Chains A and B, each alone.
Chain A
Amino acid sequence: MAVATTSAKVKWGLLDAVVVVFALIPVLWIASLSFKTPATLTDGNFIPREWTFENYKLIFQTDQFVRALINSIGIALISTLIAVVLGTMAAYAISRLDFPGKQLLVGVSLLIAMFPQVSLVSPLFNIERNTGLFDTWPGLILPYITFALPLAIYTLSAFFKQIPWDLEKAAKMDGATQGEAFRKVIAPLAAPGVFTTAILVFIFCWNDFLFAISLTSTERSRTVPVALSFFTGASQFEDPTGAISAAAVVITIPIILFVLFFQKRIVAGLTSGAVKG
C-alpha cells in the first residue's frame, strides 16, 4: 500500500469531518435544545444563552418518563437476550448442519425481515387484545423477538461460517462432547459476533416506535419513544420541546453505554492463528 501523502491525508480528513459534522449536528442540536429555557428555545442559537437543567428535572419528576424508561430497558434487554440465544443456536445449526428444510428456514426468516411491519400492526393488535397480551411486556417482547431473530440469525451465521470447522473436530478429538466443543471452543470465538448482534438487536428494540405505540395503552408497558409523544406542556398552549429534547438525550445514553461496553469485546480477527493463514 502506498504511504498516504499529506494532501491525501488532508483530503480524507476533510471528508471525515464533513461526515462527522453531518451526523452529529442534529444530535448536538437536540442536546442544545434540552439545556435551553422555554424563553430562549426559539432564538436559533446553537449554544444556549441561558443554561438550565430544568428540562431534565422536569422529566425525571414525571412518573410517566421514569416508568417508561424502566419499561424500555426491561423490554429491550429481555428481547435482546432471547433473540441472541435463539439466534445463536439457529445460526450454528444453519452454518454447520445439513438438515431438511434448511433453505426454507433461511428463506422464511428473510421473508420475515422483509415484511412491512406496519401491515402487521392491526392483526397483532387484535390478536394481543384477544389473548390478553395487549399492554403487557410480553406483548412487546414477542413481536420484537420475531423481527429481531432474522437479523440475529443472519449476522451470527456469517460469524459462525468464519470459524474453521476443524476447531470443532479438534475439540471432539481432544475428548470434548458436542456441547463442550460448542461451549469451550466455538462460543468464545463467536463472542464478537454475539456482541455485535446483541448491539444491533438492542438498538432495534430500543428505538421501535410503531409496535410500542400500537400495542400499549398505559404506563404499564409504554416505552420511552412512545412516552415522549405523550409529553404535554404546562398548559395546552405550551409545546414541551425542551422536555422532549432532554428525554431524547437521556434515552440515547444507554445506547452509547451499551455500544461502548461491548465495543471492547468486538475484537476483529479473533480467530487468527487458529489455522494456517
Chain B
Amino acid sequence: MADIVLDKVTKKYPDGTTAVHEVDLEIADGEFIILVGPSGCGKSTTLNMIAGLEDISSGELRIGGQRVNEKQPKDRDIAMVFQSYALYPNMTVGENMAFPLRLAKMDKALIKQKVDEAARVLELTEYLDRKPANLSGGQRQRVAMGRAIVRSPKAFLMDEPLSNLDAKLRVQMRTQVSRLQKQLNTTTVYVTHDQTEAMTLGDRVVVMRGGYIQQLGDPQTLYDNPVNLFVAGFIGSPSMNFLAATVEESVLRTPLGDLPLGDRMRSALSGADAPRELIVGIRPEHFEDAALIEEHQRAKGFEFTMPVDLVESMGSDKYVYFTVEGERAAAADLEDLTADAGGADLPPQDNLVTRLSAESRVRDGVDARVWMNLDKIHLFDPRNGHNITLHEGKAAGVSAA
C-alpha cells in the first residue's frame, strides 16, 4: 500500500499533441479515487502513465514516496484491471490468477493458497479450472479483479472495468468493487466515463477534460459546487438544466421569468468586465410542484407557470418536462458536453427537466405552477464557463445577500 503523487505530470506525443497538461494529484494511501471525463479527456492516458505503460513526458510520478518515472511496469508493484479484462485465453481461471505470482517466482503452495483465497472472495472457486472462453462477462470481470488482488499490490488501477457489462450486472459489480476496495484498503485509481460510477464509488473524484483537471473533490462537493459549466453538466443525472439569461438592472431575465438578484450577485455582476449574458444552471430536483411547498419555504424560491410537455412517473418521484421558449444557452463547455453524450444523457437545450414529488398532480398538456429554489441556482459566465455564484468554494445561489 502506498500513496501516489502526480507532480506536474504531462504527456506529450511525438506529433505535438498534448494529452495531459501538468496534472497535479495527490492520492492518499488507501484512497479510492476516480478519474472521470468524456473520451479523449486524458484520463486513460493518466492511468497508463501511473501504470508505466506510457512514458511520462515531463513531471514526476511518485509511488510511496519514490520516483518511479523510469521504472518498468513490473517494477512498480501495481495491478491493473483492463476494460477488456485481458484474460489469458490459453490459461484456466486459476492459472490466470496465479500468473503474476508465478512470475514473481513464488512458492507453489503459497500460490495455491493465495489463488484459492482470492477465488473465495470473488466467488470463483468452482470456476478455477475453466477457460475464460467458458465464462460469462461478469465472471470474466471477476477473474480480472482476482488477478489484480492475488498479489496484494501497492495500488490498483482500473480502466473502465465495468463498461462491458450489461446495466444490471454493472450495478451489482459496482457494489462489489466498492466493498472489495474497503475490505482490502488498497489505494485505487479508477477510470470511468460514467458519472454515476464516479459519484457512487469514489472517495474523491477528478473531473478531467482535454487533458486538464477541471475539478477535484468528493462527489457531493462536485455535485453541489461545480466550478464550471462542464463539471455542472457532467455530474448528475438527469443533468443540470441550462438556460440563457441576461442581467438587467437588479434582476436576472430568464425564459422562466425575472429572478431577483441578491446584493452579493448584484455587486459581482456590476463590474466593468462582468458579463451581461449569463447561463443559469439548476438541477431537476431543485424544482417542486408549487402546491406542495410549505409557506415558509415559498419565499426562498421563485414560481412560474408553464404547460407540461410530458410526465414520467418513476414511482418515487415524477420527471416533468417543459419546453422553454427563447434563446438557447450557448457556450463551448456545453457543446463539449453534448458532443460527448451524443445528446443522450443531456436534455435538449430547449427542454427543462424537473423532478417533482410523487404526490404532485401535474398532468400532460396542462399548465403547472412550479417552484424553484433560488439558493440552488448557479450562474455561469458563458465566455469561460466559470461558476460565478461560488462564494468561498460554496454555491450561494443568486439571491444571497
Interface residues of A (CB under 8 A from B): 164, 166-167, 169-177, 180, 184-185, 188-189, 269-276
Contact = CB atoms under 8 A, between A and B. Distances in A.
B103 A180 contact: yes
Contacts of B79: 173-174
A276 B99 contact: no
12 contacts: A170-B80, A170-B86, A173-B78, A174-B79, A270-B90, A272-B89, A274-B84, A274-B86, A274-B89, A274-B132, A275-B85, A275-B87
B356 to A, nearest CB: 39
B88 A274 contact: yes
A169 B44 CA distance: 14
Interface of B: 51-53, 72-74, 78-80, 82-90, 99-100, 103-104, 131-135, 137, 140, 147, 151, 157, 164
B90 A276 contact: no
Select the residue from A169, A177, A270 with max chain B CB neighbours within 10 A.
A169
A173 B80 contact: yes
A265 to B, nearest CB: 12
A89 to B, nearest CB: 20
Contacts of B131: 273
Given A272-B133, A276-B137, A176 B103 contact: yes
A237 B176 CA distance: 87
A32 B377 CA distance: 94
B99 A174 contact: yes
Given A176-B74, A273-B134, A185 B88 contact: yes
Given A169-B53, A173-B78, A273 B87 contact: yes
A55 to B, nearest CB: 47
A261 B42 CA distance: 49
B132 A170 contact: no
B92 to A, nearest CB: 11
Given A176-B74, A276-B164, A169 B82 contact: yes
A98 B72 CA distance: 20
B16 to A, nearest CB: 16
Closest 9 CB pairs of A and B: A273-B133, A273-B132, A275-B84, A166-B86, A170-B86, A174-B100, A274-B89, A276-B164, A173-B80
B205 to A, nearest CB: 24
B103 A170 contact: no
A224 to B, nearest CB: 37
A230 B164 CA distance: 65
Contact of A276 (B78, B140, B157): B140
Given A164-B84, A166-B82, A276-B137, A189 B89 contact: yes
A143 to B, nearest CB: 36
A80 B177 CA distance: 49
A17 to B, nearest CB: 35
B228 to A, nearest CB: 34
Contacts of B87: 170, 273-275
Contact of A166 (B52, B84, B90, B135): B84
Select the residue from B53, B74, B86, B134 with max chain A CB neighbours within 10 A.
B86
B383 to A, nearest CB: 40
A166 B103 CA distance: 18
A244 to B, nearest CB: 45
Given A189-B90, A273-B89, A275-B85, 19 more contacts: A167-B88, A169-B80, A169-B82, A170-B86, A170-B147, A173-B51, A173-B73, A173-B79, A174-B103, A176-B103, A185-B88, A189-B89, A269-B133, A273-B87, A273-B131, A273-B132, A273-B134, A273-B140, A276-B140
A172 B140 contact: no
A170 to B, nearest CB: 4
A189 B249 CA distance: 72
Contacts of B151: 175
A231 B83 CA distance: 64
B152 to A, nearest CB: 13
A275 to B, nearest CB: 4
A172 B79 CA distance: 10
B86 A175 contact: no
Contacts of B157: 173
Contacts of A272: 89, 133
A175 B53 contact: no
Contacts of A167: 86, 88
B74 A177 contact: yes
A274 B74 CA distance: 21
B86 A172 contact: no
A207 to B, nearest CB: 33
A162 to B, nearest CB: 11
A175 B90 contact: no
B135 A273 contact: yes
Nearest to A174: B100
Nearest to A163: B89
